[in-house]
Amino acid sequence: MNTLRPLIGVPADTYTHGPHLYHSAGDKYLRAVAEVAQALPVVIPAMADALDLDALLDRVDGVLLTGAVSNVHPPHYGATPSAQHEPYDLVRDDLTLALVRRCLARALPLFCICRGFQELNVALGGTLEAELQLGAGRLDHRAPEFDDLDHRYGLVHDVELVPGGLLATLLGKSRMRVNSLHRQGLARLADGLVVEARAPDGIVEAVSVPNTPTFALGVQWHPEYRAADNPDSVTLFGAFGEAARAYRAYRALCRE
């Protein structure tokens, strides 16, 4: 029996320091994969122009799309870029939007968080709304102004889970409390996605891909922060890890 941990690809963000471009992934995401999903995280550089993405996906058992400081570039969903909605990370967009489509075509386990949640919607043809807090009757979904991370990532509002949905079934509840660190959100839901949870102001907080044989879920909040200390996060990352193990086992069987 193959007991090796599954490999989870984690696409990188990019930033510049002086004249150089660097690729990075947040520690909290990598630790959630390693310690809660019980898998091996592998950072994928944002180099879609230089990578054979299909060959890369042949070697991983799941993909985690992380949150980021940057926003998806508006032309990807038919909007005009603005300095107010920066920063952008164009090379990350090139990688992640292509990966979403390839993962779903392969039924490769896919977990999308915050920016990744928005990338999932855009990759499938949906749109985003910038500056949610400016809408009438909206909550302010932006990050609280705290330097202390426990306060910044503290649970601040409930979300209602869709009865009978993937999320409600996994968690065994109809409501959960989440953190909130985003100023963009989903506008038009992409064809091929279904809503799994909404905030009290109606903003979509979670989606899934129906009729797929594997785990394909996106959430707007940050379950990766201290994931091992939050039972709901443990359940989500645990289910993602189990799906990756099942995918790994299926691939091994197909090679026999």
Q: Please pick, among 103, 112, 114, 182, the residue that the annotation labels catalytic.
A: 114
- Which CATH superfamily, name and number, covers 7-255? Class I glutamine amidotransferase (GATase) domain (3.40.50.880)
Please report the pLDDT score of residue 3 as a whole number: 64
Q: Among 125-134, 186-195, 202-211, whose mean pLDDT is lowest?
A: 125-134
Active site residue 222: yes
Nearest residue to 60 (alpha-carbon basis) of 225, 245, 216, 254? 245
Mean pLDDT of the chain: 93
Residue 114 annotated to the active site: yes
* Placement of tokens 């994928």 in the chain: 44
Query: Residue 136 and residue 208: Cα distance in Å, rounded?
Result: 27
Chain segment 123-182, per-residue pLDDT in tens: 999 999 987 777 777 887 888 877 789 989 999 999 999 999 999 999 999 999 999 898
Q: Which helix (H) or strand (E) holds 95?
A: helix 90-106
> Considering the chain, what percentage of its residues have pLDDT values greater than 70?
98
How high is the pLDDT of residue 1?
40
Cβ atoms of residues 95 and 48 within 8 Å: yes
| Virtual torsion, Cα 60, 34, 5, 102, nearest 10 deg | -20
97: number of CA atoms within 13 Å, CB side? Answer: 21
Q: Is 64 helix (H, G, I), strand (E, B) or coil?
A: strand
Q: How far is CA 60 from the centre of its chain?
A: 17
* Burial call 222-236: b when 16+ CB within 10 Å, e when fewer: bbbbebeebebbbbb
Give, rounded to a whole angstrom, the gap between the first and last alpha carbons of the chain.
Answer: 13
Return contacts of 138-146, CB within 8 angstroms, 24+ apart: 138/201, 138/203, 139/180, 139/199, 139/200, 139/201, 139/203, 141/180, 141/181, 141/182, 141/183, 141/185, 141/199, 141/203, 142/180, 142/181, 142/182, 142/183, 143/180, 143/181, 143/182
> What's the average model confidence in pLDDT over 204-211?
96
* CA gap 96, 66 in Å, rounded: 10
Cβ atoms < 10 Å from Cβ of 255: 6
Q: Where are the domains of the chain?
A: 7-255
More reliable by pLDDT, 95 or 184: 95
**Encoded amino acid at 212, one letter:** T
Reference 206, options 247, 250, 176, 231; nearest CA is: 176
Cβ(127)–Cβ(79) below 8 Å: yes
Q: Is the peptide bond before 87 cis (omega within 30 degrees of 0)?
A: yes
pLDDT tens string 77-122: 999 998 888 899 999 999 999 999 999 999 999 999 999 999 999 9
